[in-house]
Chain A
Amino acid sequence: MSTDSQQHTHHSAALEFKSSTFSVPVLVLASNDRVIIEQQLQEKVQRAPEFFKNSPLVLDLQELNKRESDINVSELVHLIRKLELLPIGLRGGTAEQNQQALELGIPVHSGHNVTAASETQKQPQAKIDVAPEPQVFATATTLITLPVRSGQRIYAEGDLVILAQVSAGAEILAEGNIHVYGSLRGRALAGVLGNTAARIFCSDLQAELISIAGNYKVSEDLNGTVLNQPVQIYLQNHALVIKDI
């Protein structure tokens, strides 16, 4: 379900999933020499020891793997922990590195995994033990049957389906697609966590703002021919496309 306090919940749950974005430092490695890494990292930490103490950190091995210089993840993690930093994720690693990270309880972030992709292309079917990438975008659908009034805010972790109108001054957000089977007069933001494949569908477009994965248009930018029409909105080459349906 949605996470906003202005939502109509039908029972009080003991827990709920919320989604948040955190700002975490990413450590991009350009060398696989552990002595040099330790030395330079120590210098950085000493410049602001309070800032770095117990700071979470995501390791980025993409640059390293592009140069095909391998590094042992468990040794690297050990080194970083010694400097009182807490690695909480790895990205851009090879399948082997990812496996090492998971064994240490460190989550693997997909996304910029260019090397891994090209590697699997190079060696077709060589590594069957590569786990399929987890589905990043939740698939649950939130259904709203009452009008979304001015000042209300609805957040859906998956798709959001609204069977009533969305008033001016209301805001609807979804990590997936948004469907509005009524007049859309408020702000609609789909793919808020960066899903560029998300779409907005509405039966009457009068929105104040529409956005997909951060690419937005305000009402003033909307062409008169699409206003008050049933349309779908999607991203094509980083530009919003509004088309009738």
Chain B
Amino acid sequence: MARIIVVTSGKGGVGKTTTSAAIAMGLAKKGHKTAVIDFDVGLRNLDLIMGCERRVVYDFVNVINGEATLNQALIKDKNCSMLYILPASQTRDKDALSQEGVGKVLDELKKDFKYIVCDSPAGIEKGAHLAMYFADDAFIVTNPEVSSVRDSDRMLGILSSKSRRAEQNEEPIKEYLLLSRYSPDRVRLGEMLSVDDVQEILSLHLLGVIPESKSVLNASNSGIPVILDEKSDAGQAYADIVGRYLGEDKPHRFIDEKKGLFGKLFGGK
């Protein structure tokens, strides 16, 4: 059965698109046929992070409106043949998406793909609503600061009450916490919430911690999902997250500033 994963947060700038790109690539690299969809109509970014912006012909809105077929709009990733990208339209706005249209596109994708990753826009309005509506699993991306945590909590409430699964009284969406831009040094100085603080507020299963890392910015700028930078801490963190999501038992890293561990991690650099 295909699984639809929504990457969402409520707040903007926490790393939803970076995460979408990384986990979609991670799942594809593990041999699962994966599609990643940009729901941020009007502010499309995913194609930049995935490095396919110069190959966009048709987009999500074209498919919904019947102006292009899904196969015409899907862009095959140049690094991994199991990964396809469905870009958003830059010239339209969120009103171009309809629940019926999104449902149809997802149903069609489900026939062919194992995982469908939906990159949600920020906010709780139409775009974010449609991105999460059909989801089976939700990755809640949160930064260790209070406003981000509050917005994630709000989004969790929406997932558990306004999604298709909630409306049809099916098994609820599985929710996972991804704590991004985490810096143990700043936690120690009291400038950031700790993993425990965030988990206490959200009481949510922690899928992984992604450390604050220069490699994320470098990866974004060069259009290569950070997970492909196997030497970087953020890349390894995302690889762990994909592994854990697929049921592998991987101990959490990047939470403490252990010298020995850090030495090991940066040994190859």
Contacts and interface: CB of A to CB of B under 8 A. Distances in A.
A7 B150 contact: no
B161 interface: yes
A167 B153 contact: yes
The binding surface of chain B is classed by DSSP as helix
Interface string B153-188: 110111011100010010010000000000000000
Contact of B160 (A8, A11, A165, A183): A8
B203 interface: yes
Given A11-B169, A168-B150, A169-B150, A6 B157 contact: yes
A183 B172 CA distance: 22
Interface string A1-31: 0000111111100000000000000000000
Interface string B180-202: 00000000000000000000110
A149 B203 contact: no
Contacts of B157: 6, 148-152, 167, 170
A137 B157 CA distance: 29
Range, interface on chain A: 20 to 34
B122 to A, nearest CB: 15
Contacts of A152: 157, 161
A11 B167 CA distance: 10
Interface size range on B against A? 10 to 19
A8 B154 CA distance: 16
A168 B169 contact: no
Interface string A41-59: 0000000000000000000
B143 to A, nearest CB: 16
A6 B159 CA distance: 10
B203 A164 contact: yes
A170 B158 CA distance: 12
Contact of A165 (B161, B172, B203): B203
B156 A149 contact: yes
A165 B172 CA distance: 18
Nearest to A168: B150
Given A8-B161, A165-B203, A149 B154 contact: yes
Contacts of A170: 157
Given A150-B157, A167-B157, 12 more contacts: A6-B161, A8-B160, A11-B169, A149-B156, A149-B157, A149-B158, A150-B151, A151-B153, A151-B154, A152-B161, A168-B153, A168-B201
